[in-house]
Amino acid sequence: MLPVTLAAQETGDPALSVELNAQEQVEAGCKLSFLIRNGGESPIDKAVYETVLFDTGGQVERLTLFDFGALPPGKPRLRQFVVPDLQCEALGQILVNGASTCEAEAPGACMDGLTVTSRTGVEMLG
């Protein structure tokens, strides 16, 4: 059995990874910062994800679209979104429900092999 780090190196980077890197309360709402890495070989020209925000009690707070734009291969990108009228402390989970728009050469580039993680107290699901 291989150690996890070695196994990850042998299988390569995930095709696409989305990390909730930070959240910050701002006057207009909750600012969410996502770090996205396209580990595939071809660019994604446009990626828009249907995303469900859940409160800390597990109830749907809202359904929204996050437009991550163009994602070149091998280069991390930071995208920030302000969710209006949302208190960050009330956010419990974020579900990436699917790709609303995916413009890419490779079929399934926006969802196949998608991994989601969080560096905050908010759980990411996908």
**pLDDT tens-digit series, residues 89-114:** 999 999 999 999 999 998 899 999 99
Going by pLDDT thresholds of 50, 70 and 90, the confidence category of residue 13 is low
Q: Is the pLDDT of residue 4 over 60?
A: no
Go through the domains of the chain in sequence order and give each one's CATH number. Answer: 4-119 (2.60.40)
Residue 26 corresponds to which tokens in the numbers above? Answer: 């701002």
Model's pTM, two decimal places?
Answer: 0.87
Predicted confidence at residue 10, as pLDDT, reads 42
CA distance 75 to 36: 9
